[in-house]
Amino acid sequence: MTASRLSFKDMCARFEVTPRTLRYYEYIELLQPEREGRSRFYGPREVARMTLILRGRRFGFQLEDIRQWLLIYEKDGTEAQMRAWIDMADRQLGELAEQKAQLEEAMAELQALRDETAGSLPS
């Protein structure tokens, strides 16, 4: 193995993902490792893609959205991908803001119910 390639096990360890997750990302064609017999090796391209995939997941993007975004780079290049990223980010920011508002409302309701319950207990 060359220094620029990671084994399947090393890739799982580096990104703290399960073998099942890594296999699934390959299955849905997010990653395309080099194959040598039964072994898989991940080069710089796959490492960069995995970094982007996990970052996208952290921000709440669906895997299909990430896959489509990665395809834009391959088909149309960096500028098109960056423009698509801005659109995706704007949509996701809106969704996260809505989720935040719903969480804040649920927390306020729970706090009020908790305080009401605590107030009904004898001192």
Q: Which pLDDT band holds residue 74 (cuts at 50, 70, 90)?
A: confident
Amino acid 1: pLDDT? 46
Do residues 52 and 15 touch, judged by C-beta distance below 8 A? no
Read off the tokens for 98: 């809505």
CA distances from 123 to 99, 113, 120 (A): 37, 18, 9
Q: How far apart, in whole angstroms, are the C-alpha atoms of residue 107 and residue 43?
A: 45
Average pLDDT over residues 69-85: 91
Q: How far apart, in whole angstroms, are the C-alpha atoms of residue 66 and residue 71?
A: 9
Element (H, E) at 118: helix 78-120
Q: What is the pTM of this model?
A: 0.80
Q: How far apart, in whole angstroms, are the C-alpha atoms of residue 123 and residue 120?
A: 9
Amino acid 19: pLDDT? 97
pLDDT per position as a tens digit, 6-28: 999 999 999 999 999 999 999 99
Q: Which residue would you say has higher pLDDT here, 4 or 49? A: 49
